[in-house]
Homo-oligomer: A and B are copies of this chain.
Amino acid sequence: MPVQHKLDGIYSPVLTPFKADLSPDLDAFIFHCGWLLDSGVGLAVFGTNSEANSLSVAERRMLLDALLEAGLPAVRMMPGTGCCSLSDTVELTRHATLAGVGGVLMLPPFYYKGVSEDGLFRHYAEVIERVADDRLRIYLYHIPPVAQVPITFGLIERLLKAYPSAIAGIKDSSGDWGNTEGMLREFQPVGFDVFAGSELFLLRTLRGGGAGCITATGNVNPAPMVALFKSWRDADADRQQAALDVTRAAFQKFPLIAAMKAAVAEYGGMPSLGTVRPPLVGLEPHDKQALLASLTTLRLRMPGFERLHDALAGSHVGHT
């Protein structure tokens, strides 16, 4: 019997476009989200690659509200709501859940290091109890290379036992296939949906019964990922996966967020969209040149993205 997932497919931590003054560019953000939806990709807004941790709580609320006002469907959104602080996490999670999002992607509190499983359990439990909404669906966010605070199997087990409805799944950004495989084996059978943290593991995750992937480069290469998700049982699935890997590698040669923003700026004809917030820095000109050259060689396409430039000429970009 095929595995039923609550949410599945390809999600992308949507890049957050900034103006020259580093304020979020709302219209460009709405355009990019609409383009991703049209490409079949769900909106994991406010992820690591969205520079969400460089946004304030107020900015994240405002950006989510802007997407909703533009008519984008909340059910296709999985906003990141995990902050260092319990109170901030509760505020963002409640706001997103009330808006009717498909789920939220929740980092563990990541400032204090070496914290106990018990403390992390208590944190997630407090969030769930305080939000107190049956619609809450939490996707845990395991990204030890950045957060440095891991989501262990023991923690998942305790959370699933205490909150089987609210704990919906995980994004595994450990970069360690053995870990993803273990989660697929241990937890996917009880309906805990495992998303790979990168398309590099997409095919293996789907073959293991997982739900899909939530991946940075979904921002720039969505269609081939969605195609593989739809046809992963086909004979050419391995070939498709290999092609995804090649494009990913072209971006990963550079600091990933800056590289994706450089590509978006180029394909959208809006040089300003290369802007990143500190502490990140934009691509050096020679790196940008090298990246764009390799994307040309790879024939990367972002069909329709060139309309960004025209769309921004209007006063407001809606999703039509």
State which of A4-12, A52-60, A65-73, A183-191 sits at the interface with chain B. A52-60
A146 adjacent to B112 (CB under 8 Å)? yes
B59 adjacent to A87 (CB under 8 Å)? yes
* A84 in complex: contacting residue of B84, B115, B145, B149, CB < 8 Å: B84
A147 to B113, CA, bound (A): 9
Q: Which residues of B contact A120 (CB under 8 A)?
A: 278-279
Give A19-77 interface residues, CB cut-off 8 Å to B. 22, 48, 53-59
Give A248-293 interface residues, CB cut-off 8 Å to B. 277-281
A56 adjacent to B109 (CB under 8 Å)? no
Indicate whether A119 reaches chain B with its CB closer than 8 angstroms: yes
* A279 in complex: contacting residue of B54, B87, B109, CB < 8 Å: B109
B56 adjacent to A91 (CB under 8 Å)? yes
**Protomer copies:** 2
Indicate whether A247 reaches chain B with its CB closer than 8 angstroms: no
B54 adjacent to A109 (CB under 8 Å)? yes
Given A111-B146, A126-B22, A146-B113 in contact, is the A281-B118 Cβ separation under 8 Å? yes
Q: Which of A84, A88, A116 has the most CB of B within 10 A?
A: A84
A53 to B107, CA, bound (A): 14
Indicate whether A122 reaches chain B with its CB closer than 8 angstroms: yes
A112 adjacent to B56 (CB under 8 Å)? no
A111 adjacent to B53 (CB under 8 Å)? yes
Indicate whether A179 reaches chain B with its CB closer than 8 angstroms: no
Q: Which residues of B contact A149 (CB under 8 A)?
A: 279
A87 to B16, CA, bound (A): 14
Kindly report which residue of chain B lies nearest to residue A276, judged by CB atoms: B119
Write out, one digit per residue, whether chain A residues 152-170 have a CB within 8 A of any chain B CB (1) or not (0): 0000000000000000000
B280 adjacent to A113 (CB under 8 Å)? no
A280 adjacent to B115 (CB under 8 Å)? yes
Q: Which residues of B contact A278 (CB under 8 A)?
A: 86, 109, 119-120, 122-123, 126
Return 12 A-B CB contacts under 8 Å, by A number: A53-B111, A53-B112, A54-B84, A54-B111, A55-B87, A56-B85, A56-B87, A57-B88, A115-B280, A118-B281, A119-B280, A148-B148
